[in-house]
Structure 1
């Protein structure tokens, strides 16, 4: 099982939100340590979490969401509700575009449940790699918070490399870590790209050695990163079924980086794991 912090990162929600969902009976932890009060969650609870977020994004209150889920709404009904809300969102102001994308991503993930299996997961060692990087801080690890922060970093990163006359030698790589300050949900977003071993400095860019990972559970995600939750869920199930644990932060290696056609992207997700 996963701690509340690890489960929050896997579900791309805040710890504060999970605690609230527990307090109102919307998403109870699988178990609570009687001595410490620590909450623990199972991988299969990501399915209920994804439905909660999808229905909440429809504009329903949390009480309405709980009533619908406790009544065992099926995928067909949920699909119909999401599509109705999609029609409404497209008629609203451009500021609602991000919400619409989030609803559609959750819908695709729910519809694809069962299509990807844990057989797609590969356990392997990750070699160290030298990268040039730009960083920024996102308010949380949720997809809707990460996207607007990381997307402008890569064009600027490649522009500065071009000005310095440096050609990348491998794929772009993104990784994340908790921010040193903030309310506990903020994360530092690292947008990097592989450069040659001889590159030690680049004007206006940080150059660093991204350390090796002794054991990583990996899966190749096809399509836009808006839909990454379905691949994360498969990784979470594999980790739980095989007796591993992880901190929930996935390293993203963009094997096919397609900023103008994100649906054509190919990304390897790498979660550092060790034995529980």
Structure 2
């Protein structure tokens, strides 16, 4: 038989860990001296100790390891259990990879600019969204604000209960010189009777992934759009649809208090150059 220290050395475990495994019934010694309390192990128990360590390295909890070691699961449930654990670990790995990518991006910002960027980019998944939408066009770039306001008024006239803030949607990152296409959408689950003569329609936006930043203060959002576009290119994404300005707080009396979320729909580029 092996003393606990000898067994611990062969099993690559600490004595403290072996005592704990004994207490919870996961790896009990073959004998305990009634006078000294010394624990003794058998060479054959090394196989169980190795398997225990292997399961622990897979990220399994001790109670889960106990069920596997004691053969309480048949082949089918064991296979399903291990596949589920693998899927969980794969999700954790993806999260860690995203965290590393964010850290790399922050390091790049500090190295290039000497400080972190003014805009923080968030990537998020949007679920399908039912909306009331009005479409139009601004004759010139300086008419964009007025056109957006008019379209918002058309949609607001229905008094539909909003499920999220309304938004302006633009089909081009760089506005054309004339006839700039614009849409305004109000997310809502309300049932409305469309008038048919005001250009307002019902639509459903599909699920999508977006990169977003928050812009606060005056309406000059160009720096936010530039920062967002640079982040997308630098992180292996491509723009995948019309971009959006979400009206979080639009204070017409004091635009220094305004708040918008700027969104680009994105997709991952398979082999970014």
| TM, length-normalised to structure 2 | 0.48
Structure ID, larger Rg: 2
Larger relative contact order (C-alpha < 8 A, sep ≥ 6)? Answer: 1
